């Protein structure tokens, strides 16, 4: 699993992928290029649109539960939730801008998130649960479905 956000320019066919405007086509192209580069049918690449934190946007309330001591966080998270729900059809589409990437949006409303994100993000995603994430994140769901359908 890689994040699309800040993917190295040395990634297979990175420059060609950057010419694609549809984020889902772009990430699929990169995954296919990566798989081709590795050339092993056991390798199933996954690139998260746009970064891992986008999965948290599936249910931001779970993030707030880790900071119940601060009512301002609740207000800011509620505002962020409304803003993103009104603008994006899926949490995966929350863009990769320097100040608007999912992690940057979270750091803006919860400044201490930056120091905690490596452990906290995983905990929050676990609390949200696979079913809810799959429901709201089609690219992630496709990957999980592909893994579930593997013949062992």
Domain ranges in the chain are: 53-132
Q: Please give the share of the chain, as a percent, with pLDDT higher than 90.
A: 63
CB 81 within 8 Å of CB 132: no
Condensed to tens digits (0 to 9), the pLDDT of residues 90-135 reads: 999 998 678 888 999 999 888 888 898 888 999 999 999 999 999 9
Across the range 16-43, mean pLDDT stands at 96
Residue 50 has pLDDT above 90, yes or no: no
128: CB partners within 8 A, 6+ apart: 55, 56, 58, 59, 62
Residue 68 has pLDDT above 80, yes or no: no
């Amino acid at each position: 699993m890689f994040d699309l956000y800040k993917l190295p320019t040395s990634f297979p066919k990175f420059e060609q992928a950057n010419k694609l405007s549809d984020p889902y086509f772009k990430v699929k192209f990169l995954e296919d290029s990566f798989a081709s580069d590795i050339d092993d049918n056991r390798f199933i690449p996954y690139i998260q649109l746009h970064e891992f934190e986008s999965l948290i946007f599936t249910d931001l309330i779970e993030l707030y539960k880790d900071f119940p001591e601060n009512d301002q966080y609740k207000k800011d998270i509620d505002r962020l939730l409304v803003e993103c729900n009104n603008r994006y059809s899926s949490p995966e589409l929350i863009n990769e801008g320097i100040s608007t990437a999912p992690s940057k949006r979270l750091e803006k409303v919860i400044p201490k998130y930056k120091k905690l994100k490596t452990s906290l993000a995983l905990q929050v995603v676990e609390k949200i649960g696979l079913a809810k994430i799959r429901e709201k994140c089609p690219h992630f769901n496709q990957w999980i479905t592909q893994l579930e359908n593997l013949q062992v």
